[in-house]
Structure 1
Amino acid sequence: MDSNLDYGVAGMQALRVQAEAASYPETLGALIDDAAARNGDQLLAKWIADGQTMTYAEYARQTRKLASSFEAQGIRKGTHVGVMLPNVPAFVVTWGALARIGAVMIPVNISYTETELMYVLTDADAQFLVMDQSAVPVWDAMTEHPALVSDTRVIVHGTPRDGSQSWQALLDAGDEDYVATSTLSRTDLLNLQYTSGTTGFPKGCMLSHEYWILLGSLAAKFRGRGGDVKNVLINAPFFYMDPMWQFLMTMVLNGTAKIAPRISLSNLYNWLVDEDIHYCIFPQPGLKAWPEGPEDRKINLRYVSIFGWTPEARKEVERRFGCVARESFGMTEIGGGLMVPPEAGSKAYERTCGIPAAFREARIVDETGKDVVQGEIGELWIAGRGLLWGYYKRPDANATGFSGRWFRTGDLFRQDADGFYYIVGRIKDMIRRAGENVAAQEVEAAVVSMEGVWEVTAVGVPDKMRGQEVMVVIRPREGVTPDQIDPEAVIAHCASRLAKFKTPRFIKYIDEFERTVSGKIVKRALVDDKTNPRVGAWDRTVGKVLDQAEADAQIA
């Protein structure tokens, strides 16, 4: 181990010891109040699109007021509440209010269709729904509603529908001196976070107050650069986990969250400059969104999180912007797992996910659960404080997903002689598109329900901008020809059942799949490294089947 790396690992271990010895707020409500006591009228958040702002004191006060009104409506400790809101102040206020009561938030993707909304709310046993007015048409279009959510238990942010309640009216009527009527602790459930990170339909990860407190607090400690990071860009949808822990990290750093409505490469540069951003999750394509030059000096980044970048891109972002760019590994189930130390020397430019973060232990094991020899490939297992409780109402998934105190990530890793971990691939059948997890089985279930389809498989096609794009390969029923299963009809069918990011871009037809001895489809044969899987696929972005030249041009 070189001296720089030795120094970096030692520093990381010292931070781990310090972090694990520290005390943390018991609940999210306590974290909000502690931050408000420290910062008062200091700016906590700014919504970039419309200029709305919120101070620390205002946030604490609004969460107490809304909590009192929620409780008056019958929301109690343990009540499950769906929250279907875009990146607006109401999202974080609602989360904080539910946390103060001890209720459980179920974040819902604002782009979900009626089918997806019905699935999540029913599976999660939601009793109330807080939704944006933009999502009301989806609710109204449902042929039936979840059994536990009556119209009077729908709370609309914006113009309320007939029979529902107004989120703003509830906030205005609340008591700012609200005190929780139930005793809360760090191990109480806070979120049912649905994830497609594993095979099958989305499952609800049961995440406690402690999970979120540690995730936000440790992110601040390891990414805060000794107090240099104050302005944090949040531009992913709040119904995913990253924006939520980034918001908590900002409070721990006594900083300001600059919140954009959505991810946008075209707007990224202006946001970084105009909002004086110090930290963000930086997408590698952003390096190509504007040319390198004198304008780079206007950017004041100090630390960026990166995922899967090439060595050249890692060096470029640090050279251009004078920041620290570091990889890590996490997932909804475990929060943070591995991190590359800030002072990692040349190791930082390798595709390593780092070493175990605070409160985390890691193992690489074989199929029998025995540790592999260092350097060999196996499944990464993680243990530690504040992991998910388990998957909601999924005893089989919990039985296979855990081995004692160890969570089985389903990801293949190896460890080098310096103790650094490298991801090799995924055991789980999942497609990763532009930061979104898409369960192949969910896409397959939508397509196979079409008339004329006998079998279908969904795979991830490599894409330089989005990581992967969704492709479905269809085997028609006997006597049905491919032209009888029109690709545009496939897209329309999927679009009525799946969110936009899950809807396939590429469609292929096949007479027979390559199979294993047990009869399972060999997916890797459809996306091998030797051929371009786009060749012969119908591409919905251009509305035609791609020939070799057209397919090659897309990945050039």
Structure 2
Amino acid sequence: MESRDFDWLAAARERYRRIGEETLPPNVMALLESAAAAHPAAPALHFIETGRELTYAELLRSVHRLAAGLSEAGVEHGSHVGVMLPNVPEMPITWLALAAIGAVMVPINTRYTAHELHYVLTDSEASHLVIHTDFTGHLEMMPAAIAGLTTIAVGASALPGLLSWQALADRPAEPFSPARAPGLDDLLNIQYTSGTTGWPKGCMLSQRYWLTCAKAYADSDGLHYRRIMSSNPFFYMTPQWLMLMAFFHGATLHVAPYLSLTRFTEWLRHYQIEFCWFPSDIVAQVPPQPEDGELSLIRGNLAVHRRDLHAELERRFRFPARAAFGMTEIGTGLMMPIEAAEMVGSGSCGIAGPFREVRIADPAGNTVPPGSSGELLIRGPGMLQGYYKRPDATAAAFHGDWFRSGDLAVQDEHGFVTIQGRIKEMIRRAGENISATEVEAALLAIPGIAETAALPVPDALRGEEVKAYIVLGEGRSVEDLPPEQIIAQCSRRLASFKVPRFIEYRSAPLPRSTSGKVRKPDLVAEKTDLRAGSWDRMTGGWL
């Protein structure tokens, strides 16, 4: 990056420093109670699909009632509760009620299969499960029953033995008082995230984590937001901190049922949204409309993947689009200050945000000079406490107290960080992180497959697609195990977004190192177009 002077940079850094020194609320419920006391009649949550709205006073009463009901159902301080719900009011109410008790939510992706649901519930040692009736069929399809699991259904269910969420929520409106007040460092979430070593790992995230993340985004630019929108599923981290960010402002969080590129800007205009995480793919995938510039956004955050689209996005939609970088493990990380108009199109994700320090290091953890590539390391309060029951993975994720992001990055002399790629082996399809090892494990569970390797294939629409290399067992042929059968069996073990799109059969063994690991760079080097010679799930034919 060329040398230049930023007369606003010192002020932005000072603002971030002051935010990091301010006192956080004692816990998540204290933040909600404070917002409800200041803005009782203001709408806290608005659900776009149904039009349902909850004021701050109504939300607080609903949380107190459900907390009392869950306590009667055996949820106590430290209990682990799986939650498999779509973007319905019951989802944030359940999370906040668990926060009030001092219990721990284990969010579960609603696209998970019965196998994946069983894994998360058993790995997290969940004592309770809150599940929407759209997904209760998974309970009968899990590989094995989970002893002692209490299941609470949202909606009417024909399955016997399930408790009713609504019945638990219909408690007297008296303020709930927990047996033990939750503290900032009490666990609030075990948030599962795909890694590079097999099944997803549970990130242990405290109440401090969520308040730190929300406050950093709420105050980073010194602006006031009245209307915020979330379009991601609530089982991801973004809607959770966006809701707490809204609480800090006494603002309304408008909750979309799902991410829709074609309807996104329509929602922004209709509800006069002032802050959101803006999907930059809209620029490439949605044709320009005359009303594109009629937005009320004061700031939109985006993850910069294509720097060439950044300036076009600002010109087309006429709002300050600023990059930011975060991870499940760290919450907030890098932020581009609102003043940084001259950085549009640079590809940089910004400087260390509030509560954070960053540096670039070599494999041994030593800081490299400005302008040199290395691994992005982050530290500060309110990051993950570790991976649940994975002490080795936790130790490997840190250099001392610096978290290893797994991202290759460079930092210039002004402190701006640009992400260059991923060190960790991960496939990122349409915003979803997919562990290649998890895909390979599902493939190897299919009788007749002797060897397999999952690799990313560049894709203009989704960023990357999943390709599986297949070596069949001796005496087996493609006719014995056709690609349609492989896809069908994968679909029973993996969420739809993890199922391979491309399949290539190989007659020769996979190339391996002396330690026995598959040499995936050798596979990539075999052809310029990794799709060539593969079967394509989307077309149902060979390429």
Pairing of 1:61-76 with structure 2 (within 5 A): 61-76=61-76
- Report deviation, 1:241: 0.5
- Give the partner amino acid of 2:345: Y
**Aligned equivalents of 2:434, 2:41: Cα separation in 1:** 41
Kept after mapping to 2: 8 A contact 1:495/1:503: yes
Find 1:172's aligned residue among 170, 173, 176. Answer: 170
Q: Which residue of 2 aligns with 1:159?
A: 156
SS of aligned partner of 1:393: coil
Residue 215 of structure 1 is aligned with which of 209, 213, 216?
213
1:482 aligned counterpart, secondary structure: coil
| Aligned equivalents of 1:496, 1:233: Cα separation in 2 | 34
Partner of 2:486: 490
Alpha-carbon spacing, 1:489–1:221, altered in 2? closer, same or farther (3 Å): same
Aligned residues: 541
Question: In the alignment, which residue of structure 2 is the partner of 1:38?
Answer: 38
1:473 correspondence with 2:469: yes
Note if contact 1:199-1:428 (Cα within 8 Å) is conserved in structure 2. no
> Is the contact between residue 216 and residue 245 of structure 1 (CA under 8 Å) also seen in structure 2?
yes
Shift of 1:484: 2.7
1:266 to 242, 262, 267: 262
How far apart are the structure 1 equivalents of 2:90 and 2:341? 42
Contact 2:429 2:465 in 1 (8 A): yes
Stretch of structure 1 that moved more, 519-528 or 69-78: 519-528
Are 1:524 and 2:521 an aligned pair?
A: yes
The equivalent residue for 2:116 is: 116
Tell me how far 1:59 sits from its aligned partner. 0.9
Q: Cα gap change, 1:187/1:454 in structure 2, threshold over 3 Å: closer, same or farther?
A: same
Cα contact 2:376–2:407 (8 A) shared by 1: yes
1-structure distance, mates of 2:475, 2:173:
67
Runs of at least 4 residues of structure 1 off by over 6 A? 1-4
Amino acid at match of 2:6: D
- Partner Cα distance (2:186, 2:110) in 1: 26
In structure 2, what is the equivalent of residue 20 of structure 1? 20
Distance in 1 (CA, whole Å) between partners of 2:284 and 2:372 is 36
- Comparing 532-541 with 94-103, greater Cα deviation is found at 532-541
| Whole-angstrom CA distance in 2 between matches of 1:75 and 1:174 | 18
Equivalence for 2:538: 541
Query: Deviation per CA, 1:218-262, whole angstroms, max 9, x where unpaired?
Result: 111126x611x3222211110011111111111212211111111
Q: How big is each residue's C-alpha offset from its partner over 1:125-150, in whole Å with a ceiling of 9 and x where there is no partner?
A: 0000010010111112224222331x
Q: Report the CA distance between 1:480 and its aligned residue.
A: 2.2
- With over 3 angstroms needed to count, the CA separation of the structure-2 counterparts of 1:269 and 1:345, relative to structure 1, is closer
The alignment partner of 2:297 has SS state of coil
Gaps of 5+ in 2: none
Match of 1:550 in 2: none
How far did 1:49 drift?
Answer: 0.8
Alignment-mate amino acid for residue 81 of structure 1: V
- Percent identity of the aligned residues? 44
Contact kept, 8 Å, 2:407 with 2:422, in 1: the verdict is yes
The SS at the match of 2:170 is helix
1:216–1:249: 8 Å Cα contact kept in structure 2?
A: yes
Which whole-Å deviations, capped at 9, do the CAs of 1:264-316 have from their partners, x for residues lacking one?
Answer: 11222321222222222222221244433531233222211111332331111
Higher deviation after alignment, 128-137 or 421-430? 421-430
Within a 5 Å distance, the mapping from 1:340-379 to structure 2 comes to 340-379=336-375
Counterparts in 2 of 1:332-343, with a 5 A limit? Answer: 332-343=328-339
Aligned with 1:46: secondary structure?
strand
- Give the Cα separation in 2 of the matches to 1:220 and 1:489: 49
Cα drift, residue 318 of structure 1: 1.2
CA distance in 2 between counterparts of 1:115 and 1:502 reads 14
The aligned residue for residue 449 of structure 2 is: 453
Amino acid across the alignment from 1:204: G
Compared CA separation, residues 286 and 324, structure 1 to 2 (3 A): same
Contact kept, 8 Å, 1:4 with 1:344, in 2: the verdict is no
| Aligned partner letter, 2:184 | R
Answer whether contact 1:114 1:497 (CA < 8 A) is retained: yes
Larger proportion of helix: 1
2:200 corresponds in structure 1 to 202
Q: d(CA) in 1 for partners of 2:527 and 2:487?
A: 28
> Deviation at 1:530?
7.1
Q: 1:416 to 1:517 in 2, by over 3 A?
A: farther
What are the superposed Cα offsets for residues 188-221 of structure 1, whole Å, 9 maximum, x if unpaired? 1110101104432111111000000011111111
Q: Tell me how far 1:163 sits from its aligned partner.
A: 1.1
Q: 1:4 to 1:371 in 2, by over 3 A?
A: closer
Distance 1:176 1:6 in 2: 54
Structure 1 range deviating more: 24-33 or 458-467:
458-467
Shift of 1:346: 2.8
Q: 1:293 to 1:71 in 2, by over 3 A?
A: closer
Work out whether residues 379 and 409 of structure 1, in 8 Å CA contact, stay in contact via their aligned partners in 2.
yes
Name the CA distance, whole Å, in 1 between partners of 2:492 and 2:130.
23
Contact residue 122 and residue 147 of structure 1 kept, 8 A = no
Secondary structure class of the residue paired with 1:385: coil
Does structure 1 conserve the Cα–Cα contact (< 8 Å) formed by 2:334 and 2:353? yes
Number of the residue aligned with 1:86: 86
| Mapped partners of 2:172, 2:374: distance in 1 | 53
